[in-house]
């Protein structure tokens, strides 16, 4: 019997990327939907002491860190070809863009989510401005990369759902991306994708 796969997610959080990837590979899995309070409770901290999603449970094995989870999904279900075309170069390209999304872009958002509020209003506002400028410049690079491409690395990969997630955050934070036409076309394509829609519906998200 194959081990049961369970994804711990929070609606619209970075775990939505894993949720979409699991739909894309076509595996049967369970979803545990949590909120901010639940991920800080002892029950969840016993699973992930960081008190963060995503968490992927495969049988009794617990995997954390989004890049590791997405790479695991790609490797475990190679027929879906979400980790490149099998060459080291294509895999490196997938991880290059995944790293930009996870390590550079994702980590630029916390000031906008209130993480620097403890610095007082003036300084916190300044950190928000700096974060917005950095986010905008990273999205410009992503838009340029999408020139002539339907997917970030040419072929659909585990990087694409992550890009969709951070674009949703940018829209939520009213960061103007309206002139970045490649990104907007990408977002529209993703929004009509069956796997994206299934994951969104399961997380109770509209758009
Ligand atoms: N380095 C971790 C970061 C995960 C992360 O930032 N998760 C957010 C949701 S997008 C979270 O659960 N935050 C809750 C918190 O930090 O309190 C990863 O890449 O998986």
- Mean per-residue pLDDT pooled into runs of 10, the chain (207 residues): 94 98 98 98 98 98 98 98 97 98 97 94 94 97 98 97 98 96 98 98 92
12 lines ligand 1 (CB under 6 A): no
What are the contacts of 132-136 at 24+ separation with CB within 8 A? 132/173, 132/175, 134/108, 135/105, 135/108, 135/109, 135/170, 135/175, 136/175, 136/176, 136/177
Per the structure block, which two tokens stand in for 159?
Answer: 């990087």
Hey, which bits of the chain come out as E strands?
5-9, 30-33, 55-58, 61-64
How many Cβ atoms sit within 10 Å of the Cβ of residue 144?
A: 11
Tell the burial category of 107 from Cβ atoms under 10 Å away from its Cβ (0-12, 13-18, 19+): exposed
Q: What's the 64 CA to ligand 1 centre distance in angstroms?
A: 10
The pTM for the full model equals: 0.97
- pLDDT of amino acid 207: 74
State which ligand 1 atom lies nearest to the alpha carbon of 52.
12
Q: What's the 52 CA to ligand 1 centre distance in angstroms?
A: 5
């Amino acid at each position: 019997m194959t081990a049961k796969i369970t994804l711990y997610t929070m609606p619209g959080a970075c775990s939505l990327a894993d949720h979409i990837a699991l739909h894309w590979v076509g595996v049967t899995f369970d979803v545990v939907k949590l909120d901010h309070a639940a991920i800080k409770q002892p029950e969840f901290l016993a699973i992930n002491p960081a008190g963060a999603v995503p968490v992927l449970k495969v049988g009794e094995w617990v995997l954390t860190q989004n890049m590791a989870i997405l790479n695991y999904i790609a490797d475990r279900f190679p027929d879906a070809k979400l980790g490149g075309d099998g060459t080291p170069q294509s895999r490196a390209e997938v991880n290059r863009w995944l790293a930009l999304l996870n390590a550079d872009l994702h980590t630029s958002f916390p000031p906008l989510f209130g993480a620097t509020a403890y610095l007082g209003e003036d300084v916190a506002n300044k950190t928000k401005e700096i974060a917005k400028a950095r986010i905008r410049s990273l999205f410009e690079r992503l838009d340029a990369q999408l020139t002539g491409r339907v997917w970030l690395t040419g072929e659909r990969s585990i990087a694409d759902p992550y890009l969709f997630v951070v674009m949703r955050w940018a829209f939520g934070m009213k960061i103007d991306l309206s002139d970045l036409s490649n990104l907007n076309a990408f977002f529209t394509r993703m929004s009509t994708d069956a796997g994206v829609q299934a994951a969104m519906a399961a997380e109770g998200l509209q758009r």
